[in-house]
Structure 1
Amino acid sequence: MGDSHSWTAVPGTAERARSVLAAAWSCAVTADGGREEFVGAHTVDEDGRVHLRVPEDSSLRTAAICAPRGEPSAVLEFADVAPVPVRHRVRARLWLAGWFAPEDDHLAFHATRVVLRDPSGAAVVALDEFAAAAPDPLATAEAQLLTHLADAHPDAVERLTRLVRHDSLHGAVRVQPLAVDRHGLTLRIERVRAHGDVRLPFHAPADDVGQLTERMHVLLTQASAAACPGALQWQRTDRDG
């Protein structure tokens, strides 16, 4: 699949990893043979270090206190889930392997390995690159931006498909906004038994929501000037998860 644009800048792997971490509201921790899910319990430093608040009686806290300091003993997992209902909503998973150290009223996690996995495969992120990278400036606003686009402006989503290559829309039954970052918007094109993604890059990076609005207006203007592809004859269906 492709689109009619020539500039296809995408976030780097380290930036994507930091964006997943910045936007995640929950995480799963595997340590000492057990696994616990924590919701709204972690914060992230500017260098990507995770701080986790756990109950006093948590087995994770006990394991962290008893584990040999500096030895990898835990894995944190964060899921990047599409905010708009689409098939296969998990867009990526981020794993941090390392060890916990008790600090005041929380546990500080010291990563020794960072792995990001998305549909293109798994990639190890160098620790220095991970620490130096900044999350995408739209990462924490993305969920609200995409759900608003899908719910309030389905006509705009349909218009944007005019920028998608004709053969990419063959057999499409539904198109939804899947992701947005400073470099572009990604659409999920669903067919009866398959799906694919198309990226529509912006003409310049968007460093905040105001700039994103301008970039989207440019895309919509380009779409309005494009011929409507004849292959786009999807049936409107109820959303699924």
Structure 2
Amino acid sequence: MGDGQGDGQTWTAAPAAAERARSVIAAAWSCAVTAESGREEFVGAHSVADDGRVLLRVARDSRLLATAVCAPRGEPSAVLEFADVAPVPVRDRIRARLWLAGRLAVEEGRLAFEPARLVLRQSSGAVVIGRAEFAAAAPDPLAAAEARLLTHLADCHGDAVERLTRLVGPASLHGAVRVRPLAVDRHGLTLRVERARAHGDVRLPFHRPADDLAQLSERVHVLLGQAGAAARPRALHRQRAEGDG
């Protein structure tokens, strides 16, 4: 289960691209907007409406707001960018980037962005997401708690992370110098395997999706139970021995 056939493996039991995009937006603290007026970054100012529009609360003196109000050709075009940053310190912390291209309009003192094209780029490559698909999707139910969960796992339960590596195939652990929790969602847990000059990710799918924290705890305990019956990977045996020396 989740034995990882290399850095470019195809994950199973993973969120769909539209769900992943909604999760990126839900967890992001900031949003960068590029329009005719230039590039601005807004912190804690975005939300997504039921119809898939991105709503932005901006200051009255914002150049972006002035551009939308004074645009001579109607609604101005813009590009929104969100970065998904791993909450646990790892090499290459940007897990994904999401770009939305569309048009801005002023609505009740705030900006309403209507996306026409959405592109999600992850380590596995870029994918274009349909507007209707994005509007119909919902963020992962664990997205808002993911940072806290992963930080706690990394800082307080390093022994559990090491035990989970017993579910990882030897090829993916070859040359490993550190393994850290990279991501968690309702479908599974992802580990970042760092080597001296490279890194790769391994997905450990849950046996069933977890829709809340109680279910997540049960899913992780199932993985740990499976890992408990497996032998410690030889790569980590060497890593532990070298560290003790």
TM-score between the two structures when normalised by the length of structure 2: 0.91
Moved more, 40-49 or 156-165: 40-49
1:161-240 mapped onto 2 (5 Å cutoff): 161-232=165-236, 233-234=238-239
CA distance in 1, matches of 2:206, 2:4: 12
Whether the 8 Å CA contact 2:37–2:64 is kept in 1: the answer is no
In structure 1, the partner of 2:43 is 39
In structure 2, the partner of 1:3 is 3
In structure 2, the partner of 1:146 is 150
Counterpart amino acid of residue 3 in structure 2: D
Instruction: Mark the CA change 1:90 to 1:127 in structure 2 (over 3 Å): closer, same or farther.
Output: same
Is 1:57–2:42 an aligned residue pair?
no
DSSP 3-state at the match of 1:234:
helix
Counterpart amino acid of residue 21 in structure 1: I
Q: Which has more helix, going by share of residues?
A: 2
Q: Deviations over 1:170-191 (max 9, x none)?
A: 1111000000111100000001
1:11-30 mapped onto 2 (5 Å cutoff): 11-30=15-34
Whether the 8 Å CA contact 1:30–1:76 is kept in 2: the answer is yes
TM-score between the two structures when normalised by the length of structure 1: 0.92
Please report the RMSD computed on the Cα atoms of aligned residues, expressed in angstroms. Answer: 1.8
Where structure 2 has 5 or more consecutive residues not aligned to the other structure, the ranges are 6-10
Counterpart amino acid of residue 146 in structure 1: L
The CA deviation at 1:33 is 5.0
Match of 2:85 among 67, 81, 84: 81
State the percentage of identical aligned residues.
Answer: 72
Whether the 8 Å CA contact 2:58–2:110 is kept in 1: the answer is yes
CA distance in 2, matches of 1:16, 1:90: 14
Give the number of aligned pairs: 234
1:99-114 mapped onto 2 (5 Å cutoff): 99-114=103-118
- Where has structure 1 moved over 6 Å in runs of 4 or more? none
CA distance in 1, matches of 2:40, 2:78: 11
Moved more, 204-213 or 42-51: 42-51
